[in-house]
Amino acid sequence: MAPETSHALAQVIREATKAKKEGKEKVILFSLSGYGLLDMQRYADYFPGKLSNLELSEAEIEKALAGLPKLETVG
Cβ-count burial of 38 within 10 angstroms (0-12 exposed, 13-18 middle, 19+ buried)? exposed
Residue 73, domain member (yes or no): no
pLDDT of residue 72: 78
Residue 20, domain member (yes or no): yes
Residue 32, domain member (yes or no): yes
Do 12 and 28 meet the contact criterion of CB atoms below 8 Å apart?
Answer: yes
Quote the percentage of the chain above a pLDDT of 90: 44
Separation between Cα atoms, residue 16 and residue 10, nearest integer Å: 10
Residue 75, domain member (yes or no): no
Residue 74, domain member (yes or no): no
Please give the tally of structural domains in the chain.
1
Residue 25, domain member (yes or no): yes
Whole domain around residue 55: which residue ranges?
Answer: 3-66
Chain segment 2-16, per-residue pLDDT in tens: 677 788 889 999 999
For the chain, the first-to-last Cα distance in angstroms comes to 28
pLDDT of residue 56: 93
Separation between Cα atoms, residue 58 and residue 66, nearest integer Å: 12
pLDDT of residue 5: 78
